[in-house]
Structures are given as C-alpha cells and as structure tokens.
Chain A
C-alpha cells in the first residue's frame, strides 16, 4: 500500500479544496495535484497502422490550434503530446504512465486499437488520469466487467451498439436473410463476434456463416467458397483496407457478389486500391469528409488541408476517427472551462455537463452519469442514433444518402 500512502499524503495537503471530491472517489486514487495544460496521446505513429495515428493527430491538432487561437482554455494554451505505441499494449501502458506521471497531463487521448485501451484500464484508474478514446470501439473499454469505470470516456462508436446497426442495415438489404460475418483475427474482430451474434438473435435470425482471416492474408477464396456454398447474400465485415482489398479481389475471382456491410475499419484508401470493386460497399461511421459539408466542417477541412498539404478529402483516410478526435478535444476544452481548473477530478465531473454541437453529433450532454444504483452511465458520447452509413460510389466514400445505395 506504499504508493497509496505517498499519494494520500499529497492528497491531504489539498484536502481542503477537494474534501468532497475525495469522499465521492471512494477507494480509487485521486491525484489532487494540479495538472499541466497538455493533452497526451498514445498512438500508432510507425508501422503498418501508422496512418491511424496520423488521422488522430490531424483532427486533434487542428482543434487545439483553433482553441489556442481563440485564447486557449482558462488563459492557458493547450499542448498536444503524441507518443508512439506501435500498436503494442505494453507500450501504450508505458506511454500512459509517461503522460500521467511524468508529463502530468490533464487528459489522455486513445489510439486505434482496442487491446491498448483495455490494457490501459488499470493504469488509468490507478493514476486517476482521464482518458478519452476516439477510435477503439471495443465494448469492454468503457463497460467494465468488474469495478466502476470512473476515468475512461469515448467519443467514438461502440461495438455493442454498432452490431445492431450493421445487422439492421444488412437485413434491410438482404433478399434471403442469409447473413454472414467475416472478421479479422484481432481483438476488434474477435470481440465483435458475440455482439453481432446477439444482434442477429434479437432480430430472430442466426448467422449462416462466420469466417476469420489473419492480418496480411492475400487470398480469401477458401472463406468465400464456404459462404457462397451456404447461400449467403449479405456479409457483415470487421476488417481494414488491406484485407478488404483482398476480400474484394477474391470475390471477383469467384464471381461471387454478396452485399458488403462493414464496420468502420475500411477507409477512403480502399477506393484507391480496389477501384471499381468498391462500388456499393457500405461502411458504418460517424462522419464523412466527402460530399456536402456544413460550413464549419468546410472550415475545419480547409485548415487541415493547409496544415497537412492535403489534396482532397480522400486524403483523410479515417474520416470518422479524424472527426471524433476533433470533437473530443472540444469536449475536453469545454469540460475544463466548466471545471474552472486544470484538475483531473473536476474535469471528469464536468464531462457530464458539457453541451457542445460538434462535427459528428450534437452532444447534449456529452456524457451521462449513472443513476443511483443502476449501471446505466453513458461514457460514450456518440449515441447509436447518431451513427451514419457511408458508401463507396465512384471510388469515393460518401454519406449513403448522397449515393445510389441508400435504403
């Protein structure tokens, strides 16, 4: 208990300020020290998923630039510190400790991968460091099996909510109601299986096929042959661009053309690599930079275009994650204004009071506290009703309403 002793000694010095907060915190540790006006992040900046980190950096930096240009928060300019975790959970934990303990940042932003976020659960609670996810959609990042999640929030999709959304869209488009799931052998893919199965069951059907594949696989004929032979006409996929290209290629090889409805691993890049094969592929998301933009979104796009020398909206490979990061920064800034201090405890409490009209949704409020005794706290800012369906049309990913593939 030595570390707790040290921390609680420090806490005692600030007890006057925080007495009530500490009472509420119960057993969890509160770091009452004043935090720095910096926002840390553990992202993939190198390796095969390096583009995911880049998308988050772009969205976050542009938001921070705007906020700082308008005078910052509580008179302080915000700083953004992005560390590389190469997609590896233990590195993400190291980075989390660095952000929480060395840099003493007020808050941490999450990266692409769910396992990293899951690995961060204990250290985040241990440090009392607020964490806001902007991509990783794993249900258990926010909904914990045991213990109360006090510190982890998300401005992104949630798999448990995505699955019914996808199944619903799939059933609306399937002729024979024969649905299958194709998922990558990662935490994200494997984690989706029970969610999708449950969502299908809720609709009174069972999945006709379930197929998996390994990262960097170059041929999926074997899986598709089994699905074709089972008469599947609509496939829900959890995969990212590289393997999606291979799925589409294998479909073409076999001359098998089921409808593809994908969770949001697929990015604008697919239109470049798979060309015409992408036509009609549906992707769930929270935002699209293609198509008609609101004036505010247009302004944000122009800022990103100037700062990162983009040539078209297609260069924003993960439109949803990018917009989520942008919104998350604003939600944090709003919470700090309400909290009135760079104080993690106060900021977390202020999260429940933030009202903000963002790119991806109208947050009103951003998060909701659990009612007494019930496990209904909402730490996911974007509600399922705010999810959107995007579709590839002429090699470009657009809101489905602006394509021929709307329901």
Chain B
C-alpha cells in the first residue's frame, strides 16, 4: 500500500514536469497556431544553462533562479529570429523548420558543453527525505518538484483566468485577427507567450536534471510525450494538458513499477525487465489513439 502511494506520487511528479512542458506547447499552438518541435530543445537548454550557472554561483537555488530569465531571453531571441516568420505558414513548414532547430540546438550544446553528459547534484538542503505520512519517507527533492510544479500550475491557471494578459491570451486563442483589429499589440503578445513557454520548458528541464542527468537530446523523447499530452487533452486547453499529463504520468510509473513483477509470472526476469518499459510506453500511445478515435479533437479540445 505504501509502495503504491509512493509510486503514485512519482507519477504525479513526472506528470507535473510534463505539464510544464506541455503548457508552453499548448499555448503556442492554441494562440500562434505553431507546431514547435524545438520546444524540447528549450527544455534541454534550460538544464544546460542551469548547470553552468549553478557551477558559477555555487548554489542550486541561485543558479536555477538565474537560469529562468536566461531561458526567457533565449525563447524571445528564437521567437524573433525564426518563429515569428512561421506563424502564418502551414504546419509542414513549421515541422520542417523546427526540426532543423532541434538539429541546431543539439549540435550547439555539443560545441559549447561537449558530448559527455553533465550531472546536477541534488541541493544539500533537499538531499534528505520528508515524511509525507507518519512513517512513510519520500525524497525531499522529488517532493519539492511536486510543490513547485503545483505552484506553477496554479499560477498559470490564475494568469490565464484572472489577469488582463490571460484575457488577451484567451482572446487570442479563439480569434487572433479580431484582437489584432481591436488594437492589441499581437506581436508583443506572441513574443511574451513564447518566452513564457520557454521559461516553463527550461524550468522543467532544470528540475528534471538532478533526477535524469543533463544530456544531448534529453528533450526529444519527452517532447513527444508532451505532444501526446496536448493531443489527448485537446490542443490549446491548459486544463486538458493538466489532466492528460496526470494520466500519462500515472501510466508511465505504473508500467515501470508494477509491470516487471506482473510479467515475471509468465516471462523470464530479463525479458520482463526489457518488455515492461516498452509496454508502458505502448500503453500511453494506445490511450492516445483511443481518445482520438472517441474524440478526434482531444478531451477538452474545441469542436470544429
């Protein structure tokens, strides 16, 4: 029972990380109609920039806090140079150009930081366990990810639902031309939204770094999961992205934690060990296919 609870918490933690990534993706798609495959590169850059800054400042918190404006800046530069030209293009051009950006960023990282992976140590004050229930310890760092992720999710919900900028974002998602005609500076809004997405991606990358290690291409696989999430949730819907991220997080963890034991009852131990991550991944895609067959625009997507 305790094991189940801990694994479910791990699922929540993974889900929140993926939500941070998916939120930026779903915003850029919902508002700018942009398919950004290079979103995973921003996740990777966030982790690498944080690695450098943590080295300079000798403090995890300070380095991480400095890395956020840096990824915001990076996002704005990428938006100004490339993305801005892609908004009006069809999806194929966007796929092609952002695929090129992935190659560019992966190679850029190799030039700047070298081919070997880096590791970020868990900060000392979080390198312990907390008792989430009496007698049930849980790693403090993972708990901190859950707290930060949940805070950001709430902040985002507040930003979108309650503030003026959120109102413009929602208006932009339903009719871009109209809010432009009403005198809103759309270009500035787009740049801001893209930068915001970059910050969330960078935050997810640097928070994941102590758990997964910082390496080239780290954003590519998780990016595909993030796309699966926004497609399940319905593109453009923050709520949908959150629900789908939680579901995908749980499926992934269940696959990793429980399938090996289950499979061992009828497979050899090594076959079970190599088959279960595959099965949990397959399960995620089966869920996605099922949702799309049932609702071709996702759980919370707009019906056209």
Tell whether A and B belong to one assembly. no
Q: Which residues of A contact B (CB under 8 A)?
A: none
